[in-house]
């Protein structure tokens, strides 16, 4: 009977030991699971924080690139506008010069040349002596020599030497000292003189238009 009682207690002890081992294993597994979960949560939070920082960095860099690109495009547009205005201003000035030159050239008819020369020679005749030399383009020279030269000599009572020139496209060049010095009244010089007077006004008009 004692042996049976002793055996019974041993069986209970074994069961208790197994139950204890099982419970300790469960607790150990649960603790390990909690540890793994906590570690995984920590890793996930770190990954999320790192991803958030990376996203903020990428966004910040993208915004900076966009800002720089906008500033660059704005500067390019401003420069392009300035270049366009400058090109337009130059083109208008060139066009103005051509218009002035054509108008002056058309105005310098032989009759007009006669009136100009008559006025100039008459005003200067009292201060100078000797012959007066006049150069004008070949087409005007032929008309002037045939129709106006004798009238100019008679009117001014001066010796006048008239010469054709292929370098003059309109107007005339006059000398009162045998060619040592001269005064140019060619179409180009007169157009340039008029252009100098008109260009500041044109510049003011263009500036006013640019502000509107």
What's the rounded Cα separation, in Å, for the pair 204 and 212?
Answer: 13
Residue 203 CB partners (closer than 8 Å, separation 6+): 89
CA distance readout (Å), 121 to 60, 85, 143: 81, 45, 19
pLDDT digits (tens, 9 = 90+) for 35-67: 877 777 887 788 888 878 888 888 888 888 888
**Residue 179: CB atoms within 10 Å:** 13
Tell me the longest C-alpha to C-alpha distance in the chain: 177
- What pLDDT is stored for residue 58 in this prediction? 86
What's the rounded Cα separation, in Å, for the pair 171 and 185?
Answer: 6
Q: Which helix or strand (DSSP H or E) is residue 175 part of? A: strand 171-175
Q: Is the pLDDT of residue 1 over 60?
A: no
What's the pTM value of the predicted model, to 2 decimals? 0.53
pLDDT digits (tens, 9 = 90+) for 103-119: 888 888 888 989 988 88
């Amino acid at each position: 009977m004692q042996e049976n009682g002793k055996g019974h207690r041993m069986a209970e002890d074994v069961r208790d030991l197994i139950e204890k081992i099982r419970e300790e294993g469960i607790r150990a597994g649960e603790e390990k699971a909690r540890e793994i979960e906590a570690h995984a949560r920590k890793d996930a939070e770190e990954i999320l924080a790192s991803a958030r920082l990376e996203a903020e960095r990428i966004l910040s860099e993208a915004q900076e690139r966009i800002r720089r690109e906008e500033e660059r495009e704005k500067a390019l547009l401003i420069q392009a506008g300035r270049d366009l205005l400058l090109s337009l201003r130059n083109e208008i000035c060139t066009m103005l010069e051509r218009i002035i030159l054509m108008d002056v050239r058309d105005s310098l008819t032989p009759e007009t040349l006669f009136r100009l020369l008559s006025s100039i020679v008459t005003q200067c005749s009292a201060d100078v002596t000797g012959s007066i030399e006049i150069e004008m383009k070949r087409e005007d020279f032929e008309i002037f020599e045939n129709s106006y030269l004798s009238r100019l000599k008679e009117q001014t009572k001066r010796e006048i030497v008239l010469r054709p020139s292929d370098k003059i496209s309109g107007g005339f060049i006059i000398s009162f000292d045998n060619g040592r010095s001269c005064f140019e009244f060619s179409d180009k010089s007169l157009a340039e003189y008029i252009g100098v007077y008109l260009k500041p006004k044109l510049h003011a008009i263009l500036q006013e238009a640019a502000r509107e």
